[in-house]
């Protein structure tokens, strides 16, 4: 029986559940002995000129070894995203100007952690305030410039060089337009950012908490101006990333530079308060949607206009609206689609990838548009969706977003979600409650989604080696941070070799072991790194057969793997001679290095239904039920897959109802700790109902698509729609996220005063 598709518990868990994982702050590497603690002094103001920095008192503080400012640091300011306006570089420690609260201004090195925190308080920085711009729709006017030398706040623009065609919607029977906010979110991995670094001669070793060792190495080397062969990056266990730990962080370069300058190892582990301002954040889009079509419900035209807040220094957020534009039409076969986007800097924390990275924003927009359109023509939102989705016979489907969807059955996913939810019964109950005028109203939200996984990075290296003792080492360029690759990749190798999971070790996140790799992001790992392991194990079997042919005096074509004994045998000859993989490995190294290059992304899809109860007196929303139909092709390990979906769904609900990074007009973060930022606990969430569909992709031999971000993409619009649906009889058509009790209550009050939204 194949191990693939079975619920294998994680091989990594015994360590995690006994002595705990080894995160960057838990390292026992002897070369880190005596490491200095780095404490960063961060700007308390959002936009200012630095007039002076006095470090004397801090330097005299107990245990302090050095206090370093930007003037001491010989690192050139870096452009943190290559596609952004070239003038928008970031100094590693601010020298002349600060552009967001949390920007590092000075570095304190101390023998002990608490000493550094004490001394950081004593660094005296004088700031001369500058006007602050927080709202991206104000920043585009260029009245307050963050980078005067750039002459603009626009970091990048895509098809934003003129006004769109005013006649685009001519001929539509119905046109609906709406401004939307896709709010800024904090990634908030429970492990904050951390790094430890030391030098041996001219060679740097850096442990970082990150999703991509190789990308981190390249960036750190580039920032330090040294050859990447001189940089060894290791990712220990990583306590969550969610996209925000892709690549590298400027702080890592500071740690490495200080370790070189001091000739001593340096450790850095930021506080949560630093993390909430210093770590990249996600989403932060303002959107205008316009949708047009027939009174019968056929959507013929869709336009999406995106203003992406980049934060103070453009990072991966510069690219996010590209994904949003790519996925703009969602699951729908809309003949006319246009979109444009601009990316603008503001005096806030930088924006980068976070859980879906541009795709949830696209889905939220088109799904809101579908609901608004359905409401306008007075039809059921689920029916309008089904009328417009791409039909199964059209795949591969060239979309108006400029990508090719590989495979899908979108209407079937909607039907499954509706059936599982008991949709008709729910609508009947909703009607009854409305007729009774219940205080607690029910809402039902339906979403249909498709996402791109493995977008833009399709190749991955893998290596499989069998050792003479029968154990196996798998090397992969992907870097798990909770996804369970150690188990999943071992399953893929075991399937080919018949060697037990207990004998298979999966290694990742080390640039000396695996020099090339793309890391774990964009739900790409299984379809790239996993397929590479599958391919490597297959090639290893081929190699083993070639070697076994002589020993067994048989043609290679007559040989097969006996997975019960992890050996090569002659087909159809019971009891014949056989040779085990271990024996072959004892004779000669048995190892295969390979590269998988799928060349194409895949497009998992699904449909979610969310049922909420809204207390119309308080505005409180309770999620009663969420049904998630997700199709990521065949499932390697249902246990891991369900876990990924659960986490995504929770985050999707959290964005819809709770989470938002908020700044005041002066650029002060009002959500700078977990006490202010609304992460849901177990008490705020229900259990989830999962339904599977399996539509394999033709773009790789196993049919695998990605699953990591699906839950987030599908559940956010379903939840938002459900709340609006609960209040639609009051004339409410839209409420911006997060739909907090206050926002919902205000919407109800406004509606009851006769002003519909």
How many other β-carbons are positioned within 10 Å of the β-carbon of residue 588? 9
- The partner residues of 397 in beta bridges, in order of sequence, read 405
Q: Does 104 bind another protein (CB under 8 A)?
A: no
Q: Does 443 bind another protein (CB under 8 A)?
A: no
Minimum CB–partner distance for residue 514 and another protein (Å): 20
Minimum CB–partner distance for residue 28 and another protein (Å): 9
Q: Does 238 bind another protein (CB under 8 A)?
A: yes
Q: Does 711 bind another protein (CB under 8 A)?
A: yes
Q: Choose between 13 and 666: whose C-beta lies nearer to another protein.
A: 13
Site string (512-531) toward another protein, x via CB under 8 A: --------------------
Among 483, 528, 580, 697, binds another protein (CB under 8 A): 483
What are the structure tokens assigned to 350, written together? 């930088």
- The count of chain residues that interact with another protein, using the rule CB under 8 A, is 67
Q: Does 419 bind another protein (CB under 8 A)?
A: no
Question: Interface with another protein by CB under 8 A: which range of 148-156, 456-464, 478-486, 550-558?
Answer: 478-486
Q: Do 21 and 209 touch, CB atoms closer than 8 A?
A: no
Q: Choose between 2 and 681: whose C-beta lies nearer to another protein.
A: 681
Question: Interface with another protein by CB under 8 A: which range of 160-168, 266-274, 452-460, 749-757?
Answer: 266-274
Minimum CB–partner distance for residue 372 and another protein (Å): 28
Output the furthest CA–CA distance in the chain (Å, rounded): 89
Q: Does 26 bind another protein (CB under 8 A)?
A: yes
Among 166, 574, 687, 753, binds another protein (CB under 8 A): 687
End-to-end CA distance of the chain: 57
Sign of the dihedral through C-alpha 451, 453, 457, 458: negative
Give 82's contacts (C-beta < 8 A, 6+ positions apart). none
Three-class SS of residue 250? helix
Question: Interface with another protein by CB under 8 A: which range of 82-90, 417-425, 508-516, 591-599?
Answer: 417-425
With CA atoms as reference, report the closest residue to 37 among 101, 107, 87, 132.
107
Question: Interface with another protein by CB under 8 A: which range of 10-18, 41-49, 216-224, 547-555?
Answer: 10-18
Sign of the dihedral through C-alpha 641, 643, 648, 649: positive
Q: Does 685 bind another protein (CB under 8 A)?
A: yes
Minimum CB–partner distance for residue 297 and another protein (Å): 26
Question: Interface with another protein by CB under 8 A: which range of 41-49, 100-108, 526-534, 634-642?
Answer: 634-642
Distance CA 724, CA 731 (A): 10
Cα dihedral 629, 634, 639, 644, rounded to 10, equals -60
Distance CA 343, CA 596 (A): 34
Count, residues in the chain: 757
Site string (331-360) toward another protein, x via CB under 8 A: ------------------------------
Q: Does 271 bind another protein (CB under 8 A)?
A: yes
Q: Does 265 bind another protein (CB under 8 A)?
A: no
Q: Does 9 bind another protein (CB under 8 A)?
A: yes
Q: Do 744 and 621 touch, CB atoms closer than 8 A?
A: yes
Q: Choose between 242 and 319: whose C-beta lies nearer to another protein.
A: 242
Q: Choose between 439 and 573: whose C-beta lies nearer to another protein.
A: 439
Sign of the dihedral through C-alpha 715, 718, 720, 722: negative
Binding to another protein (CB under 8 A): which residues in 364-403?
none
Distance CA 121, CA 401 (A): 51
> For residue 301, how far is the Cα from the chain centroid?
30
Question: Interface with another protein by CB under 8 A: which range of 399-407, 501-509, 639-647, 737-745?
Answer: 639-647
What are the structure tokens assigned to 403, written together? 């990508």
Q: Do 469 and 475 touch, CB atoms closer than 8 A?
A: no
Q: Does 189 bind another protein (CB under 8 A)?
A: yes
Q: Does 282 bind another protein (CB under 8 A)?
A: no
DSSP state at residue 332: B
Q: Does 30 bind another protein (CB under 8 A)?
A: no
Element (H, E) at 640: helix 638-657
Distance CA 236, CA 290 (A): 47
Give 471's contacts (C-beta < 8 A, 6+ positions apart). 499, 503, 504, 505
DSSP string for 77-93: -B-SSTTS-TT--B-SS
Among 161, 162, 681, 754, binds another protein (CB under 8 A): 681
Conformation bin of residue 431: beta by default, left when phi > 0, alpha when psi is -120 to 50:
alpha
Q: Choose between 275 and 399: whose C-beta lies nearer to another protein.
A: 275
Instruction: Give 394-418 as a 3 state SS string.
Output: HCCEECCCCCEECCCCHHHHHHHHH
With CA atoms as reference, report the closest residue to 181 among 696, 739, 686.
739
Minimum CB–partner distance for residue 507 and another protein (Å): 18
Q: Do 264 and 35 touch, CB atoms closer than 8 A?
A: yes
Per-residue exposure over 275-290, b if at least 16 CB sit within 10 Å of its own CB, e if not: bbbbbbbbbbbbbebb
Among 93, 188, 344, 417, binds another protein (CB under 8 A): 188
Question: Interface with another protein by CB under 8 A: which range of 63-71, 226-234, 432-440, 728-736?
Answer: 432-440
Question: Interface with another protein by CB under 8 A: which range of 18-26, 74-82, 338-346, 744-752?
Answer: 18-26
Q: Choose between 245 and 342: whose C-beta lies nearer to another protein.
A: 245
Q: Does 482 bind another protein (CB under 8 A)?
A: yes
Question: Interface with another protein by CB under 8 A: which range of 187-195, 308-316, 358-366, 520-528?
Answer: 187-195
Q: Does 272 bind another protein (CB under 8 A)?
A: yes
Among 63, 222, 396, 422, binds another protein (CB under 8 A): 422
Among 190, 573, 742, 755, binds another protein (CB under 8 A): 190
DSSP state at residue 527: I
Question: Interface with another protein by CB under 8 A: which range of 55-63, 212-220, 259-267, 640-648?
Answer: 640-648
> For residue 236, how far is the Cα from the chain centroid?
19
Among 432, 573, 670, 742, binds another protein (CB under 8 A): 432
Q: Does 311 bind another protein (CB under 8 A)?
A: no
Q: Do 548 and 555 touch, CB atoms closer than 8 A?
A: no
Question: Interface with another protein by CB under 8 A: which range of 285-293, 298-306, 538-546, 673-681?
Answer: 673-681
Chain residues binding another protein by CB under 8 A are 9-10, 13-23, 25-26, 113-114, 188-192, 237-242, 271-273, 422, 424-426, 428-429, 432-433, 436, 438, 442, 481-484, 639-640, 642-643, 646-651, 673-675, 679, 681-683, 685, 687-688, 711
């Amino acid at each position: 029986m194949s191990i693939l598709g079975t619920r294998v518990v994680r091989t990594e868990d015994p360590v995690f559940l006994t002595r705990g994982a080894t995160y960057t702050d838990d390292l026992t590497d002897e070369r880190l002995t005596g490491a200095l603690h780095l404490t960063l002094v961060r700007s308390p103001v959002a936009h200012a000129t630095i007039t002076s920095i006095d470090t004397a008192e801090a330097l005299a503080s107990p245990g302090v070894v050095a206090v370093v400012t930007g003037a001491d640091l010989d690192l050139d300011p870096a452009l943190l995203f290559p596609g952004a306006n070239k003038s928008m570089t970031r100094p590693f420690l601010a020298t002349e100007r600060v552009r967001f609260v949390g920007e590092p201004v000075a570095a304190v090195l101390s023998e002990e952690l608490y000493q550094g925190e004490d001394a950081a308080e004593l660094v005296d920085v004088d700031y001369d305030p500058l006007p602050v711009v927080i709202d991206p729709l104000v920043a585009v006017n260029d009245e307050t410039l963050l980078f005067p030398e750039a002459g603009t706040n626009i970091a990048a623009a895509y098809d934003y060089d003129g006004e769109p065609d005013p006649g685009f919607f001519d001929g539509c029977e119905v046109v609906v337009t709406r401004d939307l906010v896709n709010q800024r979110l904090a990634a908030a991995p429970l492990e904050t950012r951390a790094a430890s670094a030391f030098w041996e001669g001219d060679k740097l070793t850096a442990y970082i908490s990150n999703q991509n060792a190789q990308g981190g190495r390249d960036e750190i080397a580039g920032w330090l101006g040294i050859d990447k062969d001189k940089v060894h990056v290791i990712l220990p266990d990583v306590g969550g990333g969610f996209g925000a730990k892709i690549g590298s962080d400027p702080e890592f370069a500071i740690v490495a530079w200080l370790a070189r300058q001091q000739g001593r190892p340096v450790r850095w582990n930021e506080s949560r308060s630093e993390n909430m301002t210093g770590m990249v954040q996600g989403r932060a889009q303002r959107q205008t949607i316009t949708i047009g079509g027939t009174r019968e419900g056929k959507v013929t035209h869709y336009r999406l206009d995106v203003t992406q807040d980049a934060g103070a220094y453009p990072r991966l957020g510069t690219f996010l609206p590209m994904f949003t534009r790519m996925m703009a039409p969602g699951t729908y076969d809309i003949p006319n689609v246009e979109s444009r986007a601009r990316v603008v800097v503001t005096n806030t924390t930088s924006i980068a990838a976070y859980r879906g990275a541009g795709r949830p924003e696209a889905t939220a927009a088109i799904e809101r548009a579908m609901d608004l359109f359905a409401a306008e023509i007075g039809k059921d939102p689920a029916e309008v969706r089904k009328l417009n989705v791409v039909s199964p016979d059209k795949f591969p489907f060239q979309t108006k977003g400029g990508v090719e969807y590989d495979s899908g059955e979108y209407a079937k996913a909607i039907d499954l979600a509706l059936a599982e939810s008991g949709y008709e019964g729910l609508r009947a109950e909703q009607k009854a409650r409305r007729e009774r005028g219940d205080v607690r109203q029910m809402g039902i939200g339906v979403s249909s989604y498709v996402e791109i996984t493995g977008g833009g990075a399709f190749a991955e290296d893998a290596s499989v080696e069998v050792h003479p003792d029968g154990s196996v080492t798998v090397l992969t360029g992907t870097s798990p941070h909770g996804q369970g690759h150690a188990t999943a990749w071992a399953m893929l190798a075991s399937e080919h070799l018949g060697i037990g999971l207990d004998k298979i070790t999966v290694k990742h996140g080390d640039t000396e072991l695996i020099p090339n790799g793309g890391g774990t992001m964009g739900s790409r790992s299984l379809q790239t790194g996993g397929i590479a392991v599958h391919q490597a194990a297959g090639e290893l079997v081929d190699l083993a057969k070639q070697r076994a042919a002589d020993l067994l005096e048989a043609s290679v074509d007559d040989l097969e793997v006996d997975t019960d004994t992890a050996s090569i045998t002659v087909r159809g000859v019971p009891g014949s001679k056989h040779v085990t993989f271990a024996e072959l490995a004892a004779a000669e190294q048995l190892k295969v290095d390979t590269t998988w290059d799928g060349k194409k992304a895949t497009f998992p899809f699904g449909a979610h239904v969310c049922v909420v109860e809204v207390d119309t007196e308080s505005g409180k929303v309770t999620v009663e039920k969420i049904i998630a139909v997700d199709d990521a092709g065949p499932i390697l390990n249902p246990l891991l897959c369900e876990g990924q979906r659960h986490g995504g769904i929770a985050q999707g609900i959290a964005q819809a109802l709770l989470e938002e990074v908020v700044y005041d007009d002066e650029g002060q973060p009002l959500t700078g700790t977990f006490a202010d930022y609304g992460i849901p606990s177990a008490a705020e969430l229900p259990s989830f109902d999962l339904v599977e569909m399996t539509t394999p992709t033709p773009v790789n031999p196993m049919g695998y698509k990605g699953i990591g971000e699906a839950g987030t993409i599908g559940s956010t619009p379903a939840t938002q729609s459900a709340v609006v649906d609960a209040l639609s009889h009051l004339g409410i058509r839209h409420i911006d996220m997060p739909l907090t009790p206050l926002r919902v209550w205000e919407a109800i009050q406004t509606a009851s005063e006769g002003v519909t939204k």
